[in-house]
Amino acid sequence: MSLSSRMIIVLTTVGLISGGFLAGVAKLTKERIALNIQAEIEEAIKEVVDDAGISTVLYEEEGLVIYRELEEDGDLAGFAIQAIGVGFQDKITLMFGLDETLTKITGLTIIDQKETPGLGAKITDWNAFLRFWEDRDATGPLSLRKPSVHTPEELLATEINSITAATISSRKVLEIVNLSLDKVRELIAKGKITDEEHDGN
């Protein structure tokens, strides 16, 4: 057998065996990976919308998903907005909640981030950052409070706290939320999201 034929046969065989093997592995793990991603989203929703039980996707576009959240008994619990935007180092994926009237942010959690460890990564810290996101006004753009304050009571309803030495990461999260809120308000104006649309699920 010529050398080139041997090379072709060996590489093709190795490639085929490897491809077949990987297809099998992908089939075995696909469902579990999808469940993991789903569980991560559900957990994030529960962190930002109290009593969330049944989720329905109301709107979806690249980098933004809006969920309507019903309580187990069918009452409207609120809305959860999953958004992706550019952070200081890499993309930030976050989830924030809106109350039933779509006028107040009920909380925020970070799903994925690659900010600087020890500095920008504090956007995932409850005490340093997340607790300042509860009960924020969602009817207009939010602004960043700088220098940072120690308690949420010191902030205006339209302000969020900055993290000392990580202003850019704080600002990036704020920008993602403000952009998402713009979109939510646009959808409300178009009648695509309403606080009354909670009869079906």
Partner 1 sequence: MATKTIRAEYLKGLWDENPVLRQILGLCPTLAVTGTVITGLAMGLATTFVLIFSSLVVSSIKKLIPAQVRIATYIVVIASFVTIADQFLKAFFYPISEALGPYVPLIVVNCIILGRQEAFSSRNSVGRSLIDALGMSTGFILTLLALSSIREILGAGTFLGHQVMGPWFKPWIIMILPAGAFITLGILLGIALQIESRTKRN
- Which residues form the interface with partner 1 (CB under 8 A)? 3, 6-7, 10-11, 14-15, 18, 21-22, 25-26, 29, 32-33, 36, 40, 112, 114, 116-119
To the nearest whole angstrom, how small is the minimum distance from the Cβ of residue 147 to partner 1? 20
Taking the complex as a whole, the smallest distance from the CB of residue 111 to partner 1 amounts, in Å, to 9
Between the alpha carbon of residue 48 and those of residues 1, 25, 30, 103, 137, the distances in Å are: 67, 35, 28, 15, 15
Q: Which residue from 55, 120, 113, 54 is spatially nearest to 81, judged by alpha carbons?
A: 55
Nearest distance from C-beta of residue 195 to partner 1, angstroms: 34
Structure tokens at 107: 């909380």
Cβ distance to partner 1 smaller for residue 89 or 143: 89
- Nearer to partner 1 by Cβ, of 119 and 187: the residue is 119
- What does the alpha-carbon distance between residue 121 and residue 109 come to, in Å, rounded to a whole number? 12
Please state, in angstroms and rounded to a whole number, the distance separating the CA atoms of residues 144 and 123: 14
* Comparison of 21 and 154: residue with beta carbon closer to partner 1: 21
- Minimum distance from CB of 60 to partner 1 (Å)? 22
**Residue placing its CB nearer to partner 1 in the complex, 118 or 200:** 118
Are 64 and 75 in contact by the 8 Å Cβ rule? The answer is no
Q: Residue 112 CB, nearest distance to partner 1 (Å)? A: 7
Length of the chain: 201
Cβ-Cβ contacts under 8 Å for 7 (sequence gap 6 or more)? none
User: Which residue lies nearer to partner 1 by CB, 3 or 189?
Assistant: 3
